[in-house]
Chains A and B, each alone.
Chain A
Amino acid sequence: MENEATVLNPDPLVVVDNLKKYYASRQGNRKDSVVKAVDGVSFSIGAGKTLGLVGESGCGKSTTGQAVLNLDRATSGQVFFQGKDITQFKGKALRYLRKEIQIIFQDPYSSLNSRMRVRDILEEPFKIHRLYRGRELTAEVEKLIDMVGLPKNALDKYPHQFSGGQRQRIVIARAIALRPKFIVCDEPVSALDVSVQSQIVNLFRRLQTELNLTYLFISHDLSIVRHISDQVGVMYLGKIVELGDKQAIFSKPLHPYTKALMSAVPLPHPETQRNREKIKLKGDLPSPLNPPTGCRFHTRCPLAQERCKREEPAWREVDAKHWVACHFAEGVEEGVQ
């Protein structure tokens, strides 16, 4: 697996190589057109590290997460977990894999069965994998609920008796029950209130240290991604347009989209927010059914030139360990205004 992204992580737990996920779409008279939801995504994540994946809705970040887990079979490309290509896993091997990798979804209201007590919810993974029984099982479940900061009596309640933040704690307890190595977190704090969000972000970080977890953290919230990630990938219309260490991405964004995305986030301070330099993107995200030619961002890019319409920019390492797909990445610093 020759993958430039592995340079970032010499000893990666997860390597994704040229992952593609296409969906057939029958819309109107263009029969059997194809939506390229994820179109050639490559990255790697080191053990115990977090890769943040950011982008606007419809950019393919969630599809990437699901394809990486083999929840949704990739159209092409490979996903290596501990060196093995898991895209071809089936049956028993796939079930064993589910022990090692987990997913946490955005909405804690719909990801818990409302007819099950918390105890049953947390016991289920152990029962499926025939790990513990009787007193051992009870002890293990009690340990879990304690790890996510809920009291023991929470075990005998139903999901509806908890607030959103507490429910997300239960979801997290279930995800870490089998001590997975890798968790895909798909917008795990987006549905929560601000004051609760930070509690859950802190919990994610604490558990990462305690259990040596590796995260793929998918979010549209750049502030949270900056706080929790080691590396960041920025997606636009099914492709990663920029990838690198968090410091590099946030202090010196090379892709005009990354720069625009950052400047669009309103900062929670009126003085700074009103006086900062802002890049306004015109128009909306183009349809993934019919993405623009050349660079997919050229229709909204403030730096776009003729060349961008014709020629798809190469994926290149502009700074050390900092990749970008833009013809004019070197000019982004001065060029975008």
Chain B
Amino acid sequence: MSLESTMQPINKDDDVVLAVKDLFLEFDNFDSHVTALHGLNFTIRRGEILGLVGESGCGKSLTSLSSIKLLPKNAKITGGEIQLAGTSITHLPEKAMKRLRGNTISMIFQEPMTALNPLIPVGKQIEESLILHKKISRAKRRQRVIELLQSVGIPEPEARYHQFPYELSGGMRQRIMIAMALACDPKLIIADEPTTALDVTIQSQILDLIKDIRERYQTSILIITHDLGVVADVADKVAVMYAGHIVEIATVHELYDHPSHPYTKGLLNSIPDLTTDYEGELDSIKGSVPDLSALPAGCPFQDRCKNVSEKCRVQNPQLAPTGHADHFVACWHPIGDETIGK
């Protein structure tokens, strides 16, 4: 992963599966006008897992929905470009988009119970994208579904094929969602909080499955989560979002060992450590996430930041190299070579 790949996503590199460049997204409501995404830049290469972390309302889900063009009607991409496997999809008509969804790019949602149709057997639901995108015989399709069920670790796939979502546990349902996403060998899978609704022991099984899929098929995965533990477990590269901005992006080891943005560091410090006893107060970030419709001029994090200066109130910092390899931060006063004590 070179410096270029992160900063200059639009290139002729065949390995880049998703490239988002300077993406702006705006919402028009009756009474307000909100800029939800402020010039995002990132790329995902073949077989790479990018973790997108942030708190609720920071725009991480909108970023994923933009990448698959499933935005709400009042949302509009007002700047920048999204390239999927080398072709720009920013202004692609819906008809063409439909040929890509479930085929080149697919998605796993948080709540498998609401994402699955309760009235259709799960096997049939997995088959749907094969009917849409692949010209193969019914018998072959059936065989492929059984294969898929097997590959996501579902026991007795022939029997499960005919079962309805309500007959399966939460973890099994999420495996079905993953099988659906895998059906047409996509280049990119977007997983939006894929384990948030699950218990930890089941979460750990699903995370293993996600890592295993990347190993087996070299699929690129964009995983969206608020859980820094999940990112630490699966991601190669991490982008931290705050109020519609990517404030820091780095390889996973670099980000956790040398967090450079005060927000990233604040997040990491505010999680109590499972492995030691600590009796004092937890570090916390003061205040709460700002309202996107009333963002201050300058840095979006200024009101919660300990290192805020005059400059932060006037000018919004852009992503810039930190000096460490593959590490970029949008901050006027980034944290130096401190490491968090873990």
Q: Give the dominant DSSP class at B's interface.
A: helix
16 additional contacts, CB 8 Å, given A56-B199, A266-B232, A270-B256? A56-B200, A194-B55, A226-B272, A250-B274, A264-B204, A265-B200, A265-B274, A266-B203, A266-B229, A267-B229, A269-B256, A270-B233, A270-B252, A273-B232, A280-B204, A280-B208
B256 contact from A165, A199, A250, A268, Cβ within 8 A: A268
Inter-chain contact B277/A250, CB cutoff 8 Å: yes
Complex Cα–Cα for A56 and B233 (A): 20
Inter-chain contact B207/A266, CB cutoff 8 Å: yes
B199 contact from A166, A193, A246, A285, Cβ within 8 A: A285
Inter-chain contact B270/A195, CB cutoff 8 Å: yes
Residues of chain A contacted by B310 (CB below 8 angstroms)? none
Residues of chain A contacted by B199 (CB below 8 angstroms)? 56-57, 220, 285
Inter-chain contact B204/A194, CB cutoff 8 Å: no
**One of B88-96, B186-194, B280-288 at the interface:** B280-288
Residues of chain A contacted by B202 (CB below 8 angstroms)? 284
* 7 nearest A-B residue pairs (beta carbon): A266-B229, A227-B272, A198-B270, A198-B282, A198-B284, A193-B55, A56-B199
CB-CB under 8 A for A260 and B342, given A166-B288, A226-B277, A265-B229: no
| Chain A residue with the shortest CB-CB distance to B273 | A223
| Chain A residue with the shortest CB-CB distance to B155 | A283
Which residues of A from 239 to 273 have beta carbons under 8 Å from B? 246-247, 250, 260-273
Complex Cα–Cα for A280 and B116 (A): 27
Q: Does A179 contact B (CB under 8 A)?
A: no
Q: Which B residues contact A (CB, under 8 angstroms)?
A: 55-56, 169-172, 199-205, 207-208, 226-233, 252-253, 256-257, 266-268, 270-275, 277-278, 281-286, 288-289, 304, 342
B271 contact from A194, A199, A281, Cβ within 8 A: A194
Residues of chain B contacted by A56 (CB below 8 angstroms)? 199-201
Q: Give the dominant DSSP class at A's interface.
A: helix
Q: Does A197 contact B (CB under 8 A)?
A: yes
Measured CB to CB, the closest approach of chain A to B229, in angstroms, equals 3
Residues of chain A contacted by B268 (CB below 8 angstroms)? 268
A163 contact from B252, B275, B288, Cβ within 8 A: B288
Complex Cα–Cα for A46 and B171 (A): 38
Residues of chain A contacted by B289 (CB below 8 angstroms)? 163, 193, 195
CB-CB under 8 A for A195 and B266, given A202-B281, A268-B232: yes
| Chain B residue with the shortest CB-CB distance to A251 | B277
How many residues on A have C-beta within 8 angstroms of the other chain's C-beta atoms?
45
Complex Cα–Cα for A205 and B280 (A): 10
Q: Does A7 contact B (CB under 8 A)?
A: no
CB-CB under 8 A for A202 and B284, given A266-B227, A268-B228: yes
Inter-chain contact B228/A194, CB cutoff 8 Å: yes
Complex Cα–Cα for A17 and B256 (A): 45
CB-CB under 8 A for A201 and B232, given A194-B55, A264-B203: no
Measured CB to CB, the closest approach of chain B to A53, in angstroms, equals 15
- Can you report 16 residue pairs joining A to B where beta carbons are below 8 Å apart? A56-B201, A195-B288, A195-B304, A202-B281, A223-B271, A247-B277, A260-B201, A264-B204, A265-B200, A266-B207, A268-B271, A270-B252, A270-B256, A273-B233, A274-B233, A281-B201
Residues of chain B contacted by A263 (CB below 8 angstroms)? 204
Residues of chain B contacted by A207 (CB below 8 angstroms)? none
Q: Does A211 contact B (CB under 8 A)?
A: no
B282 contact from A57, A227, A270, A274, Cβ within 8 A: A227
Residues of chain A contacted by B227 (CB below 8 angstroms)? 266
Measured CB to CB, the closest approach of chain A to B61, in angstroms, equals 14
CB-CB under 8 A for A222 and B253, given A56-B200, A198-B284, A285-B199: no
Measured CB to CB, the closest approach of chain A to B195, in angstroms, equals 9
Complex Cα–Cα for A266 and B256 (A): 14
Inter-chain contact A223/B274, CB cutoff 8 Å: yes
| Chain B residue with the shortest CB-CB distance to A278 | B204
Residues of chain A contacted by B274 (CB below 8 angstroms)? 222-223, 226, 250, 262, 265, 267
Complex Cα–Cα for A110 and B273 (A): 30
Residues of chain A contacted by B172 (CB below 8 angstroms)? 284
Inter-chain contact B232/A194, CB cutoff 8 Å: no
Residues of chain B contacted by A226 (CB below 8 angstroms)? 272, 274, 277
Residues of chain A contacted by B275 (CB below 8 angstroms)? 267, 272
Max count, chain B CB within 10 A of own CB: residue among A201, A205, A272, A284 = A284
Inter-chain contact A270/B201, CB cutoff 8 Å: no
Measured CB to CB, the closest approach of chain B to A270, in angstroms, equals 4
Max count, chain A CB within 10 A of own CB: residue among B226, B275, B281, B286 = B275
Residues of chain B contacted by A266 (CB below 8 angstroms)? 203-204, 207, 227, 229-230, 232-233
Complex Cα–Cα for A204 and B272 (A): 14
Complex Cα–Cα for A234 and B256 (A): 30
Which residues of A from 165 to 204 have beta carbons under 8 Å from B? 165-166, 193-199, 201-202
Q: Mark A278-294, 1 if CB is under 8 A from B, else 0.
A: 10110011000000000
| Chain B residue with the shortest CB-CB distance to A287 | B169
| Chain A residue with the shortest CB-CB distance to B169 | A284
B201 contact from A224, A261, A273, A274, Cβ within 8 A: A261
Residues of chain B contacted by A271 (CB below 8 angstroms)? 253, 256-257
Measured CB to CB, the closest approach of chain B to A143, in angstroms, equals 22
Inter-chain contact A201/B288, CB cutoff 8 Å: no
Inter-chain contact B271/A201, CB cutoff 8 Å: no
Residues of chain B contacted by A264 (CB below 8 angstroms)? 200-201, 203-204
Measured CB to CB, the closest approach of chain B to A304, in angstroms, equals 15
